[in-house]
Amino acid sequence: MTSSRARTRLDLRARFPHGVASARQLEACGVPQRTTYHRCRPGGPWQRPLPGIIVLSSGHVTDDQVVMAALLLGGPDAVVSGMEACRRYGLRRGPAALRRAGPPPEVELILPHGRQVRGVGFVHVERTHRMPEPRLHGGFPLAPPERALLAVARRLHDYREIAELFSEAVQRGLTTVGALWTEMELGSRRGTANPRAVLREVSEGVRSAAELDAKKLLARAGLPPAVWNVEVFDARGRLLGVADCWFDDVALAWEIDSTEWHLSPADHDRTVRRAAAFGAAGAIVFPSKPGDVRRAGAAVIAQLRAAHAHAATRPRPALTIRPR
């Protein structure tokens, strides 16, 4: 016959599917707090990762258990934001923490302003009068992407990481440039100088840190204006592809060509096919590696000027463009 203790374990597993509960919740289920904390002693069957929060096992703590522990500490209406929210939305470009393995080293929570909960351990707390409408993702309440993105960007110092973070979110349709601007204006201005500068570039079509480097380099080249990430069509109106950088006066595409800055090798393959389609339609394609743009800027400028001059010597093909 199943013992009373075994029945209790089964009941707790059913009641708390993530295997995480507060000491008060356990007490309400009939487990005295003295018993709870006794089981959390070294070598015991349970763990206490945060004050008053219990993991109902002694082994490896999972990502979900870490986040659930943080939410239980935060209390009702707590919302996950920052790096962990971005990671759960599937973002991987930018800060290395988005690509980490294992439980998050920090969980950032947004709490109602009057909630008297302080950050402790791996929990970072932001109290606000402007609580976001959470989005359930895998059963966890996450801040809207633009809120989570800016929470991360405010703490970054590398503009290239910010560019990758914003660009991936916009490319994947998680948010829009407009939504990011709105959130930036509504939130605190603390730490927004770099995110604002990067978002201005993203607003002008830049979609990666490599393209941002290229755009800064282009400002020194003394060439006619160019546009970024525009759709290019042939004389019949067929879409040839999206050019990283396009000089419409001479139908010249400047392609920042590297798998490092694409979402997958398949994306890079599409870049190669796109360049072939541009060339077949009469456009001049000038490829550059991101590393060359960063480390050999003078040489790239000279080559780009030569490519533009060469493109100007032939009749311009009947190609048209349209912003994305």
| Each residue's pLDDT tens digit, 119-162 | 999 999 999 999 999 999 999 999 999 999 999 999 999 999 99
CATH code, 318: 3.40.960.10
What is the residue range of 101's domain? Answer: 67-203
- Asked whether residue 172 falls in the same domain as residue 262, the answer is no
- Asked whether residue 74 falls in the same domain as residue 183, the answer is yes
- Asked whether residue 51 falls in the same domain as residue 99, the answer is no
Note the pTM of the prediction, 2 decimals. Answer: 0.87
The whole-number pLDDT of residue 5 equals: 58
CA nearest neighbour of 26 among 10, 17, 15: 15
Q: What is the pLDDT of residues 206-241, one digit of tens each?
A: 999 999 999 999 999 999 999 999 999 999 999 999
CA distance 26 to 288: 60
Average pLDDT, the chain: 92
- Asked whether residue 252 falls in the same domain as residue 271, the answer is yes
Contact 71, 21 (CB under 8 A): no
Last residue of a domain, one of 39, 59, 79: 59
- Asked whether residue 77 falls in the same domain as residue 198, the answer is yes
pLDDT beyond 70 at 4: no
Q: How sure is the predictor about 61, in pLDDT bands with cuts at 50, 70 and 90?
A: very high
pLDDT beyond 70 at 259: no
User: DSSP labels for 120-182?
Assistant: -TTEEEEEESS----EEETTEEE--HHHHHHHHHTT---HHHHHHHHHHHHHTTSS-HHHHHH
- Asked whether residue 112 falls in the same domain as residue 41, the answer is no
Last residue of a domain, one of 34, 59, 84: 59
- Asked whether residue 177 falls in the same domain as residue 71, the answer is yes
The edge-to-edge listing of strands for the beta sheet with 20-22 is 20-22, 53-55, 47-50
- 95: helix, strand or coil: coil
Cα atoms in the Cβ-side hemisphere of radius 13 Å centred on 90: 11
The whole-number pLDDT of residue 269 equals: 75
- Asked whether residue 199 falls in the same domain as residue 76, the answer is yes
CA distance 43 to 58: 8
- Asked whether residue 214 falls in the same domain as residue 199, the answer is no
Q: What is the mean pLDDT of residues 172-184?
A: 97
The tally of domains found in the chain comes to 3
Last residue of a domain, one of 153, 187, 203: 203
